[in-house]
A and B are shown apart, each in its own frame.
Chain A
Amino acid sequence: MSESPTRIGFGMSSPGRNPAGQGASEETPEEEQTLPPDAKVSLRKEREATGIDEVFESLDADLVGLTPVKTRIREIAALLLVDRARSRFGLSTSRPNLHMSFTGSPGTGKTTVALRMADMLHRLGYLRRGHLVSVTRDDLVGQYVGHTAPKTKEVLKRAMGGVLFIDEAYYLYRADNERDYGQESIEILLQVMENHREDLVVILAGYKDRMDSFFASNPGMSSRIAHHIDFPDYTLDELDDIGKLLLKAEGYTLTAEAKKTFRDYLEHRQAQPRFANARSVRNAIERARLRHASRMMTTDESVGRDELTTLKPEDFLGSRVFTEANGETSNSASG
């Protein structure tokens, strides 16, 4: 009898899932006394009590650039804090609509920000649980008549108390097929977004141009979303910073020449098609690690800590990006 008594008897809890129950059981929804009209409230203390500054700090430290996004997040946090203070004076505050759409190129941090947003809204007391349920079309739309509604409703129930993050939301609506079940899913979503505003926040994410045409064909969806946040592409400097952060997290350093080569790499890669911002940077580092590892394997000398952690220019120069870039310049020069 080696089985521990807390093991779950059938497959309903998947590993790695955030144990939702733990954090929230401490919160006590005690009713506070209404303050007299001449009282004063320290917003700074409110801020400290919510621990919101930690979220901002980690947002600034972990996410490079994204200034318009961070500004909007701070604005939302400020609104919620002021609403909390207002409610302590007994002033009526209508619950703000916080459904959002995140648009931007691939790899600009939409999913990461959604995760932080769920945490922030939980700390500010807007969401009861603060978990993130990330879904795509597959999870919402069924395969035959009558399959879509229960499926969508089940996902919505799972997301209650937290954030429902619909990645590549434009796939929900297929203009070319009017009998597509996606429309049914959108209708249920709209209904829940309107009627269960206190229970969940819906975030739609996707690439800018396709989201625009999605909203154009679903005006009801567009008007129910209060915050349309656009994620700008990263500049070269920001990509460089992201690379540094990633390398630091992986425990690698660059030689001075490699730093320059890495920047050259990013510059070339940025100009090439299918550039996916931070994701491309991550991939570049992964491939540099591969080349570094095979370089280590071919040396007969014994290697030390420095050799194992230092990436050299040749680890990046082996990339297809450089050969293609050179090919293009020579072609254009000859042509």
Chain B
Amino acid sequence: MRITQGTFSFLPDLTDAEITAQIQYALDNKWPCSVEFTDDPHPRNVYWDMWGLPMFDLADAAGVLAEVNACRKAKPEHYIRLNAYNANYGKQTVALSFIVQRPSDEPGFRLDRQDAHDRTIHYTLHPYAADAPPGRRYNGQQ
């Protein structure tokens, strides 16, 4: 099941040229970019691992793309996303966040039902990948 999180997630995967154009848009707006990765793509998991520090004071997208590619090389079977942070007062939030890499095989989520009191049912989502310990999910690769 294809995971849809962040901007552009209902589009086909972006090419590197399209990613570069998006990064350049962020940099032109003076939004510093950062790269994050995870192997736990649950929608409520907002704490992805940082790939290096956020990159400040960049002018050109090539530097950010180099970090994205370094992360892809080190984590070939992880989700990788790119965040652009808008630091303007009144905003101070992530302005753009999109996935730039996903694992080759995405098994998706299982729906768990839990019986509670008075015949009520609690529903929760459980990623199949999360059955394996962190680092060994998605084709058992680091």
Residues of A within 8 A of B (CB): 3-10, 12-13, 20-21, 24-25, 128-129, 131, 150, 154, 156-158, 160-162, 196, 199-200
Contact = CB atoms under 8 A, between A and B. Distances in A.
A321 to B, nearest CB: 42
Contacts of A9: 87-89, 91-92
Contact of A158 (B57, B88, B89, B91): B57
Which residue, of B55, B57, B60, B62, has the highest number of chain A Cβ atoms within 10 A?
B60
Interface residues of B, number: 24
A6 B63 CA distance: 25
B89 A160 contact: no
B110 to A, nearest CB: 41
Contacts of A157: 55, 58, 63-64, 66-67
Interface in B14-73: 27-30, 32, 52, 55-64, 66-67
A200 B61 CA distance: 12
A156 B63 contact: yes
A156 B59 CA distance: 11
A162 B88 contact: no
Query: Top 9 nearest A-B pairs by Cβ distance?
Result: A161-B60, A157-B63, A21-B28, A20-B59, A160-B62, A199-B62, A9-B87, A160-B63, A160-B60
A10 B31 CA distance: 12
A5 B90 contact: yes
A143 B70 CA distance: 25
B29 A21 contact: yes
Nearest to A5: B90
Contacts of A6: 88
Interface of B is mostly: loop
A116 B62 CA distance: 22
A161 B59 CA distance: 7
23 contacts: A3-B89, A5-B88, A5-B89, A5-B91, A8-B88, A8-B89, A9-B87, A12-B56, A20-B28, A21-B27, A21-B29, A21-B30, A25-B28, A129-B60, A157-B66, A158-B57, A158-B59, A158-B63, A160-B59, A160-B62, A161-B60, A162-B60, A196-B62
Nearest to A24: B28
Given A161-B60, A199-B60, 6 more contacts: A4-B89, A9-B91, A128-B60, A131-B59, A157-B58, A157-B67
Nearest to A21: B28
Contacts of A160: 58-60, 62-63, 66
Contact of B88 (A7, A129, A196): A7
A5 B89 CA distance: 6
Given A25-B28, A157-B55, A10 B87 contact: yes
A142 to B, nearest CB: 14
B30 A8 contact: yes
B62 A161 contact: yes
Contacts of B90: 3, 5
Contacts of A4: 89
Given A3-B89, A5-B89, A9-B88, A158 B27 contact: no
A150 B51 CA distance: 12
A150 B29 CA distance: 25
A156 B66 CA distance: 11
B132 to A, nearest CB: 32
Contacts of B28: 20-21, 24-25
Contacts of A162: 59-60
Nearest to A196: B62
Nearest to A7: B89
A156 B62 CA distance: 10
A150 B44 CA distance: 32
B60 A12 contact: no
A129 B63 CA distance: 13
Nearest to B56: A12
A157 B57 CA distance: 9
Nearest to A9: B87
Contacts of A20: 27-28, 59
B94 to A, nearest CB: 13
A85 to B, nearest CB: 25
A84 B32 CA distance: 33
Contact of B57 (A3, A12, A24, A150): A12
B60 to A, nearest CB: 3
